[in-house]
């Protein structure tokens, strides 16, 4: 139960995102929103994904939990991300951070075996290793292309 690889979630386009398929690659999970001050991080996330997609998968989870900054439908969110940021990394269907099983796992050390954390705003980042183990949590203010994240990807 200490691997994110146990999860399958609905993708924003209705297809399934099976985390088991990402075995052998690092994973960055991030909760995203279209109307947030951190929304420009989509560009940095896409840059990171394009640079390292052979060894890194980014999965964005749209959520309207913070400041009602993701009011759109899945279709509207997908259109916004494609039009404004050229997003090609996987996006999940819009979720509720408080109740979604993957975030309950990510935030609870008793479930993930590694870290307790609280998602306090949009664009929080969870870094998982090639075996799906949670290794680090980064707050919204940390850029997706921060040296700490780049060093982790390259390690």
Is 36 a known active-site residue?
Answer: yes
Residue 66 and residue 37: Cα distance in Å, rounded?
Answer: 12
Helix (H, G, I), strand (E, B) or coil at 29: strand
Cβ contacts of residue 43 below 8 Å, gap of 6+?
85
Active-site option among 36, 95, 97, 106: 36
Spatial contact of 28 and 142, defined as CB atoms under 8 Å apart: no
Task: Find the length of the chain.
Answer: 155
* Catalytic positions: 36
């Amino acid at each position: 139960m200490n691997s994110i690889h146990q999860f399958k979630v609905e993708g924003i386009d209705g297809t399934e995102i099976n985390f088991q398929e990402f075995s052998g690659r690092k994973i960055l999970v991030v909760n995203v929103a279209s109307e947030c001050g951190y929304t420009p991080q989509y560009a940095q996330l896409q840059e990171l994904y394009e640079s390292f997609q052979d060894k890194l998968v980014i999965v964005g989870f749209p959520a309207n939990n913070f400041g009602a900054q993701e009011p759109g439908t899945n279709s509207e969110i997908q259109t916004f991300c494609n039009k404004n940021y050229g997003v090609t990394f996987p996006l999940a269907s819009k979720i509720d951070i408080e109740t979604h099983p993957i975030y309950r796992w990510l935030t609870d050390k008793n479930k993930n075996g590694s870290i307790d954390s609280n998602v306090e705003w949009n664009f929080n980042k969870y870094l998982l290793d090639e075996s799906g183990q949670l290794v680090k949590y980064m707050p919204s203010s940390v850029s997706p292309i921060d040296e700490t994240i780049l060093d982790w990807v390259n390690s």
